[in-house]
Amino acid sequence: MDLHIVWFVLWGVLWGVYFMLDGFVLGAGMLHRVLGKTDGDRRVIINSFGPVWDGNEVWLLTAGGATFAAFPTTYALMFSYLYTPLLLLLFALIVRGVSFEFRGKEEGAAWRGCWDWAIVICSFVPALLFGVAFGNIFAGLPMDQAGYHGSLVYLLNPYGIVSGLLFVLLFLEHGALYVAVKSTGSLSRSAEDLARLLWIPLLVIAVVFLGYTNFATKLYHNYVAAPVFAVVPLSAVAALLSVRLFLAKGRAPAAFAASCVTILGVVFTGVIGLFPNLIPSSLDPNFHLSIYNSSSSEYTLGIMTTVAFIFVPIVILYKIWAYRLFRERLTVESVAADHEAY
């Protein structure tokens, strides 16, 4: 068993699961002021993900930790080359978490309005930056023996922006569907209607992204070499179309499930296209950071594999239990009666 491939697969799964879970939190956060017409509605939106959002962040920490432990060279150079956008991403995630907790500490409209806008902005920024970062990784970073030759402005290239918009729209759709599933009454109907509207620009950007990827990256080379893997992007496309089909039938929970598959399919499509690279070089293929030239020792990977196969299932079981525990749909009245409401 090639442990390098095992950890590459696990690395991709961790990122996919993180985007699937925190994606609806980021999306609902961006829509906080759009869907939340009243303070009661806004409290429902926050309380819909309040018990689980911090648990979702575990997958981000695990993805980062897996990169650090399994592929330390990639981790070191990635955080060196992309220091500024990653720092902005970190600050946004911190302020977002603080906003969830501080919003309900005072009753004043100005106080809550300030934190409401912080939630919106600090949900949008990570969604955009994640997309821009992964888009640039898919295309390759300008690096060679002299190091990295890019900048923050360089990362905002056309393909990076298209990737960023794709992530933003994916999460907006995901968040709207989550609110539709977790709420009732007019808020649920508004969220479902908004999801129908968002699906159209999402489809357009998805088509642009798939076409642009053929020219801006080499992701499709692996699919040409092994056509069996084409089932992954095809599944993502089918799931995205299914979202609209389920919405037309008024089946928001099924549409949300299809949205989960869409996000996983998009992430896995990129990860499979990258293999065996983690960060390709756009200047010289000799400086690709791959799972072989940037990994830890076989001994380290072996220990990590044992630990992962023990604890990852435990985390999965815990998350299943948490989501089952907080599966009830929320109303303005139920949130108002809850002393833990945000």
CATH of the domain at 112: 1.20.1630.10
pLDDT, tens digit, 9 for 90 and up, residues 251-269: 999 999 999 999 999 999 9
pLDDT for the residue 146: 82
Is residue 341 assigned to a domain? no
What is each CA distance from 64 to 59, 172, 187, 268, in whole angstroms? Answer: 8, 24, 36, 17
Sign of CA dihedral 62, 64, 68, 74: positive
Cα 330 from chain centroid?
24
3-state percent breakdown (helix, strand, coil) of the chain, nearest 5: 80, 5, 15
Is residue 342 assigned to a domain? no
* Cβ atoms 259, 173 nearer than 8 A: yes
Taking alpha carbons only, the member of 113, 103, 128, 62 closest to residue 314 is 62
pLDDT for the residue 342: 64
Q: What is the pTM of this model?
A: 0.94
In this predicted structure, the answer to whether residue 287 has a pLDDT above a threshold of 70 is: yes
Is residue 289 assigned to a domain? yes
- DSSP for 199-249, written as a single string: HHHHHHHHHHHHHHHHHH--TTHHHHH-GGGGHHHHHHHHHHHHHHHHHHT
Domain span at residue 7?
3-336
Tally of structural domains, the chain: 1
- The model's confidence at residue 327, banded by pLDDT at 50, 70 and 90, is confident
